[in-house]
Amino acid sequence: MPAARYSIFSLLRNAATYHREWQAAWRSPDPKPAYDVIIVGGGGHGLATAYYLAKEHRISNVAVLEKGWLGGGNTGRNTTIVRSNYLWDESAHLYEHSLKLWESLSQELNFNVMFSPRGVLNLAHNLHDLRELQRRVNAIRLNGIDSEILTTAQVKAMVPILNCSPNIRYPVLGASLQRRGGVARHDAVAWGFARGADALGVDIIQNCEVTGIRREGDRVVGVETTRGFIGAAKIGCVAAGHSSVLASMAGLRLPIESHPLQALVSEPIKPILHTVVMSAAVHVYVSQSDKGELVIGAGIDAFNSYAQRGSLPIIEEIMASACVLFPMFSRLKMLRSWAGIVDVCPDASPIISGTPVKGLYFNCGWGTGGFKATPGSGWVFAHTLAQDRPHPLNAAFSLERFTSGALIDEHGAAAVAH
Amino acid sequence: MSEQSHRLDAAAAPGRIDRGHPLRFVFNGRGYEGFAGDTLASALIANGVHLVGRSFKYHRPRGIVGSGSEEPNALVQLRTGERTEPNVRATQAELFDGLIASSQNCWPSVGFDLGAINDMASRILPAGFYYKTFMWPPSAWMFYEGLIRRAAGLGRAPDDPDPDRYEKRFAHCDVLVVGAGPAGLAAALAAARAGARVVLCDEQAEMGGQLLAHPRGVGAVIDGRPALDWASAALGELASNKDVTLLPRTTCFGYYDHNALALAERVADHVAKPRQFQPRQRLWKLRARRVVLATGAIERPLVFRDNDRPGIMLAGSAAAYGMRYGAAVGRRVLVFTNNDSAYRAALALFDAGVGIAGIVDLRPAASGKPVEDARARGIEVLAGWALTATDGPSKVRAALAMQLDEAGAGVQGPIRRIECDAIAMSGGWNPAVHLYSQARGKLRYDGAQGIFLPGRTEQALAVAGSCNGAWSLGACLAEGAAAGAAAAEAAGFTAASAPAPAAAEENDSPARLLWVVPSDRPLGEGGKHFVDFQNDVTAADIGLAVREGYKSVEHLKRYTTSGMGTDQGKLGNVHALGILAEVTAAEPGAVGTTTFRPPYTPVGFGTLAGRDVGALADPVRTTAMHGWHVAAGAVFEDVGQWKRPHYYPRPGESLHDAVNREVKAARTGVGILDASTLGKIDIQGPDAAEFLNRIYTNAWTKLEIGRARYGFMCREDGMVFDDGVTTRLAAGHFHMTTTTGGAARVLSWLEEWAQTEWPELRVYMTSVTEQWAVAAIAGPHARALLAKVGTGIDLDAKAFPFMAMREGNVAGIPARVFRISFTGELSYEINVPARYGMALWQALMAAGAEFGITPYGTEAMHVLRAEKGFVIVGQDTDGTVTPIDLGMDWIVSKAKDFIGKRSLSRADTARGDRKQLVGLLTDDPRVVLPEGGQIVAELKPEPPMAMLGHVTSSYFSANLDRSIALALVRNGRQRIGAALHVPLADRNIRVKVVEPKFIDPEGRRQDG
């Protein structure tokens, strides 16, 4: 069933019939007894995987199983920042591939995901920060990715409301800037990929929780779900926040810790911040949404949890940091705060990999920064599932690296200290 | 100044205002007058002003809908200048003399707003239209987005920093009662009488809740006396109880795990500005043994065609403006309802002298006492009728009514036009279960009433009053008293069994649930049925979302933005769920609710930040000698929280001039460094040596007393985590030093291992960083200087060898003197109790004058150690470097186990071609490499280029009269002697790889 194309013309046409003729963005079929591939997890990464399986690898006998609603996990809970300014080659190439997909994703999906390359600034507040910034910017540039250093005066010109006084506790000494970085509309990414995958024949099944992974010998044969057994020779698990729970169903133990990560928005105000501003030392990252809300990311709560709620002290800290860097924020108001569960690997890099169980694959461990990778993650995971071997872009992100020691330590690149 | 055209007669509607205390205020540039006790909203209504703002999306004219924190429309920009605040609900802004407010989100004015063009185009702007367009041409999104951004947003942020201050308070109590209406007052009384420590908070300025404003409360009788007298007696009793804290103007906005609650107290928002030293707001962080939620209920609107005109408001709020504020919402008020409560509102208004144009009731067989009372007053009741449209240039001036069909799905018969200047609507009442849900309480759907009620909860809380679905005053009082007594009992007190305050029970006739009131046109075709006023979400939008598959409540919310405004859907959410359920033919209970999240109402950033801003953002740590450094003109750098002298410029000296001088002095005379910031941990216990043996990569059990050893600690993955010198003071007593920035991290690390992994080890740690001040003297004259100030220690090189510690009296001060060296020179680190730090420093400076003693800062320290090839953990390492990568195989024990050992033998970690520490020399000795420069073997005209590693440390060495650098380079040990390149944005620098030791590779200088 080809989906009707979205455009200003289709909007006008449908206005004539009071928008009564719009069709569902995706079907809601009952699960078939078996599929070629089952994707567990209907977030952005899982839906992107299904989309690229169908689009790039012509495998459309695919089901995406979601225990709740599409995009209800970290896809709908993040601060929507997209960038590729990573230190190590392996990460830079993966995230840059993703960024390139972002740049044409609205057209690719015929769904406006509102990717807005309004620039991402990372502030430096001490000499150590500056050194690290130089190192990072040089590395990113030599990987062929845009990256530059700004002086304090240039930062001030770009973000006039930022407190660049030399007299604050940790003055802004400079910043790195990735102009191609920015933000996107998080829900739209899930919906756009869902609609795109559905149009290519993928079955998207919500309210279907996987309760077990059935193995025969050393390979998987399907999943037990709240809607019965569904067979598949290949299962891709993309369930951030619950990856280790799924892994244990197959008798695997992942090198993952799960923590709550909080974020919040202010009430909407007229535009005052046109760029994404991130600071690791004065811990805060903030952008302003098209609706006018300031979108602010907090740090992780130190405790392990699967419950999607955090504690107040983390919010207090982030608010103090925000007011330090933007003193005029003080009289604005927090409208809504929430938490997602992040799966953190020891090296703060993801796992996109097969496992010792044949036919079982995991895409997980994105920690605090998986949203930006959504299209790229799906693209390489689709390749991995289809070909039963990783694409060169994700070869380094294997599960084996925790045995071999070939870690990709990106603690410095994460916006949030792990 | 205009007179208060809509103020009611004081005899008929005295209200809670002080008519003897007029206040002037300005709204949208025009002066008005109100009274003390007014809110901005009530004062505007008293002046006949209804048009207050514009809606978010369509910029439709909007008036005041509610009378409290549920208000979606009447958002104003309050105050001007540095104290301006956007998005303030006029219904909560207490009037003060000189108040200035203006409408938001409109241009050029609220009366004529060009943004209203969106309303004309609304037919092509249904829910989610932006996901379907703006995609062509691909590069144009940023352009479209710019237009959208300018049109969106509500109020404006201030331009200047906030001049006010905010405070925080921690508190504990036995019973927290949230909400000071009848149920809350009764609960607080019962708990307090049992002897419990009680906190009672209420978001309003005056406590009393519905007794102040609700038709059920005003004029009611409790325990035989007027309800307000009862309330003031109750408040008097509570106020005089020293164990009770009354917090008016305080919103309990967050309910976290284990009865941790967050309250925002608006201390000085009701005056022009706070008094000197008075906070504007205060954040209470409360831990309550038990909580009683008496948060009341919020009236819901009716979703009928064009239900958003200024003048259309909630019936209860219309009554509140009359009874509490003595202000008439209109002169001919039409009431539209599906339940009895709006009759009481109509009666109250009528009795206060407000004209009632009639009551339109969705119920075909309206009956019961309120109905009879209305008819008895001559008010026309149209039972089984519905409003099908409203009319007016902006404010409502008439409504059209038709008869409902039996199913409520359509209307029939003739259209009747009813002239009116306000419409008071009521779609029933929703219990305010927000906090209850935040506490993870489960909700249950009551299909008969169409409401969500508290169900089951795991937290130590109770719900009382209309929040619990108790609608009559008598029931509210009874539930409150019972909940308060039970909470006190649960907290360990004994409540006397006293009867609850008594009031009349009135039972209402059932309401008629109609999620959407039909009109004579199909839904979405002509006119709009608003569900969410602020975000302009209509019933048709919900239908569209469902058609397109956004059927989950969360999808519906996100796709339509229903419930995502600053009111967070306090009015519209349940209607949205009801319509969703209707369209999908499900039960609202099965559809579920979206998650209730903190805060209940928006909370100021400044309130949450408290005092941790400006200079107090993070503590500043300074050493005992800090004052001396300041006086000496040192330039400081931030290292963690510490202020450390970066260098000590003399007049006219640049950083490099000063550093060149400082490093030369340390190699030729004597230099002095304030090393107090190094982390210091005192480790004691019979198993201390064994503990260190497991923590450090080298062996510790055989270290002699009085001797020191340098050590690395690795993480489990074998990567260097921290380093430092640790000294054995006694058999079971060690003094550990760590990096300055790593001190807290290391102590946590040690504690984690000691407590969770090796609980069998008898070892105890405490931080002594602050207890010791440290002066490090380095250079050929260091021993002579020490001898001169006097130590009581045999300083002979054999008696006090390198890597030893001696205790003595340095310049008369009890000291531990460590002969260790981070410069490669003869060096002593003199530790004295911190209170003597300044005296020690001054004595050394005075005695050192003859040797040309030179204080040096962190920059010179970095150069001196780099000349020797000593690494700085965190600069020359980054968590991916093993001790072996640093060329320090000698420090890694082969014989014993330690944290990280197994990882060092992993396939990748044991590779011989990992990134390794090397030295780099530029071809041109004047050129100093930038730290962070990336290194390549092969230069290409432009990126990408394959990188081998990076420059970790780079300086000009005055002692060598050339630049030097340290670097991590892939397979670096094998590249010694090779040429590599450092490509920068503007130039390329050629370098030679060398051993990472530039001065005194044999280490002879440290013996002096």
Dig out the tokens for B54 from the structure. 């514009």
pLDDT of residue B529 exceeding 90, the answer is yes
% of chain B residues with pLDDT over 90:
93
**Interface test with chain B among A8, A314, A323, by most B beta carbons within 10 Å:** A323
Distance from CA of A359 to the nearest CA of B (A): 26
CB contact under 8 A, B145 and A24: no
Tell me, yes or no, if A135 comes closer than 8 A to chain B by beta carbon.
yes
Dig out the tokens for A378 from the structure. 């799906």
Tell me, yes or no, if B637 comes closer than 8 A to chain A by beta carbon.
yes
β-pairing, A276-279 with A284-288? antiparallel
CB contact under 8 A, B159 and A328: yes
β-pairing, A219-225 with A228-237? antiparallel
H helical segments located in A200-335: 243-249, 312-325
β-pairing, A34-40 with A62-65? parallel
* pLDDT number for residue A389: 97
Look at the block and give the residue holding tokens 């910043």. A175
Number of CB pairs < 8 Å for A and B?
Answer: 323
Dig out the tokens for B643 from the structure. 């202020």
DSSP labels, B815-880: EEEE---SSSSSEEEEEEEGGGHHHHHHHHHHHHGGGT-EE--HHHHHHHHHHHT---TTTT--SS
Q: Which of B547, B471, B479 is nearest to B511 (CA)?
A: B471
Q: Which residues of A touch B129 (CB under 8 A)?
A: 11
Q: Are the C-beta atoms of residues B834 and B676 closer than 8 Å to each other?
A: yes
**Interface test with chain B among A7, A8, A142, A206, by most B beta carbons within 10 Å:** A142
Distance from CA of B522 to the nearest CA of A (A): 10
Query: How many Å apart are CA B754 and CA B752, to the nearest integer?
Result: 6
Q: Quick one: closest CA in A to B604, which residue?
A: A333
Over the Cα atoms of chain A, what is R_g? 21
CB contact under 8 A, B131 and A6: yes
Q: Which of B586, B587, B578, B596 is nearest to B303 (CA)?
A: B578
pLDDT of residue B765 exceeding 80, the answer is yes
* pLDDT number for residue A415: 43
Q: Which of B44, B47, B87, B96 is nearest to B67 (CA)?
A: B44
Tell me, yes or no, if A24 comes closer than 8 A to chain B by beta carbon.
yes
pLDDT of residue A221 exceeding 90, the answer is yes
What is the Cβ-side half-sphere exposure of residue B142, based on CA atoms within 13 angstroms? 11
Q: Are the C-beta atoms of residues B103 and A160 closer than 8 Å to each other?
A: no
pLDDT grade, residue B588 (50/70/90)? confident
Query: How many Å apart are CA B827 and CA B782, to the nearest integer?
Result: 6
Identity of residue B295: T
Q: What is the predicted ipTM? A: 0.96
Nearest to B943 among A128, A142, A311 (CB): A142
Which helix (H) or strand (E) segment holds residue B581: the answer is helix B573-583
Tens digit of each residue's pLDDT (9 = 90 or more) over B930-989 = 999 999 999 999 999 999 999 999 999 999 999 999 999 999 999 999 999 999 999 999
Tell me, yes or no, if B936 comes closer than 8 A to chain A by beta carbon.
yes
Strand partners of residue A285 = A278, A297
* pLDDT number for residue B632: 98
pLDDT grade, residue A3 (50/70/90)? low
Nearest to B947 among A127, A139, A269 (CB): A139
Strand partners of residue A92 = none
Distance from CA of B243 to the nearest CA of A (A): 26
Q: Are the C-beta atoms of residues B566 and A267 closer than 8 Å to each other?
A: yes
Tens digit of each residue's pLDDT (9 = 90 or more) over A124-170 = 999 999 999 999 999 999 999 999 999 999 999 999 999 999 989 99
Tens digit of each residue's pLDDT (9 = 90 or more) over B418-433 = 999 999 999 999 999 9
CB contact under 8 A, B604 and A19: no
* pLDDT number for residue A416: 44
pLDDT of residue B60 exceeding 60, the answer is yes
* pLDDT number for residue A1: 41
Query: Rounded to an integer, what is the distance from CA A407 to the centroid of its chain?
Result: 21
Distance from CA of B273 to the nearest CA of A (A): 13
pLDDT of residue A259 exceeding 70, the answer is yes
Query: How many Å apart are CA A43 and CA A374, to the nearest integer?
Result: 9
Tell me, yes or no, if B909 comes closer than 8 A to chain A by beta carbon.
yes
Tens digit of each residue's pLDDT (9 = 90 or more) over B201-236 = 999 999 999 999 887 778 889 999 999 999 999 999
Query: How many Å apart are CA B834 and CA B836, to the nearest integer?
Result: 5
Q: Are the C-beta atoms of residues B601 and B253 closer than 8 Å to each other?
A: yes
Q: Are the C-beta atoms of residues A65 and A208 closer than 8 Å to each other?
A: yes
Tens digit of each residue's pLDDT (9 = 90 or more) over B685-718 = 999 999 999 999 999 999 999 999 999 999 999 9
Tell me, yes or no, if B150 comes closer than 8 A to chain A by beta carbon.
yes
Name residues whose C-beta falls within 8 Å of residue B310's C-beta, 6 or more positions apart in sequence: B50, B51, B52, B61, B62, B63, B64, B394, B395, B396
Which helix (H) or strand (E) segment holds residue B636: the answer is strand B635-639
H helical segments located in A203-337: 243-249, 312-325
Q: Which residues of A touch B881 (CB under 8 A)?
A: none
Query: How many Å apart are CA B603 and CA A407, to the nearest integer?
Result: 42
* pLDDT number for residue B590: 87
Tell me, yes or no, if B549 comes closer than 8 A to chain A by beta carbon.
yes
Cis amide linkage into residue B602, ω under 30° from 0: no
Look at the block and give the residue holding tokens 């216990």. B685
pLDDT grade, residue A412 (50/70/90)? low
**Interface test with chain B among A12, A47, A331, A335, by most B beta carbons within 10 Å:** A331
Q: Which residues of A touch B459 (CB under 8 A)?
A: none
* pLDDT number for residue B741: 92
CB contact burial B71-82 (16+ within 10 A = b; e otherwise): bbbbbbbbbeee
pLDDT of residue B358 exceeding 60, the answer is yes
Helices (H) and strands (E) in chain B, counts: 24, 50
Q: Are the C-beta atoms of residues A161 and A328 closer than 8 Å to each other?
A: yes
Q: Are the C-beta atoms of residues B323 and B209 closer than 8 Å to each other?
A: no
Look at the block and give the residue holding tokens 């050029």. B108
Q: Which residues of A touch B603 (CB under 8 A)?
A: 333-334
Residue B229: CB atoms within 10 A of its CB come to: 12
Q: Which residues of A touch B550 (CB under 8 A)?
A: 25, 191
Q: Which residues of A touch B874 (CB under 8 A)?
A: 128
Tens digit of each residue's pLDDT (9 = 90 or more) over B497-511 = 888 999 987 788 999
% of chain B residues with pLDDT over 70:
100
Tell me, yes or no, if B752 comes closer than 8 A to chain A by beta carbon.
no
Mean pLDDT of chain B: 96
Identity of residue B1006: Q
Q: Are the C-beta atoms of residues A44 and A192 closer than 8 Å to each other?
A: no
Q: Which residues of A touch B612 (CB under 8 A)?
A: 316-317, 320
Averaged pLDDT for residues B463-474: 95
Q: Coil, strand or helix: which one is B574?
A: helix
Mean pLDDT of chain A: 95
Q: Which residues of A touch B597 (CB under 8 A)?
A: 336-338
Q: Are the C-beta atoms of residues A374 and A83 closer than 8 Å to each other?
A: no
pLDDT of residue A418 exceeding 90, the answer is no
**Interface test with chain A among B130, B135, B908, by most A beta carbons within 10 Å:** B135
Cα angle A3, B531, A291 (rounded to 5 degrees) comes to 65
* pLDDT number for residue A413: 55
Q: Are the C-beta atoms of residues B932 and A133 closer than 8 Å to each other?
A: yes
Look at the block and give the residue holding tokens 């306090």. B570
Report helix, strand and coil shares of chain A as percent, to nearest 5.
30, 25, 45
Distances from the Cα of B642 to the Cαs of A162, B108, B615, B736, in angstroms? 24, 52, 14, 19
Residue B615: CB atoms within 10 A of its CB come to: 10
Tell me, yes or no, if B254 comes closer than 8 A to chain A by beta carbon.
yes
Tell me, yes or no, if A144 comes closer than 8 A to chain B by beta carbon.
yes
Averaged pLDDT for residues B569-594: 92
Which helix (H) or strand (E) segment holds residue B955: the answer is strand B947-957
Cα angle B917, B920, B924 (rounded to 5 degrees) comes to 170
CB contact under 8 A, B603 and A334: yes
Q: Which residues of B touch A68 (CB under 8 A)?
A: 552
* pLDDT number for residue B695: 98
Domains along chain B?
1-161 (3.10.20.440), 165-297+431-490 (3.50.50.60), 301-427 (3.50.50.60), 523-600 (1.10.10), 626-676+771-864 (3.30.1360.120), 679-767 (3.30.70.1400), 910-1008 (2.40.30.110)
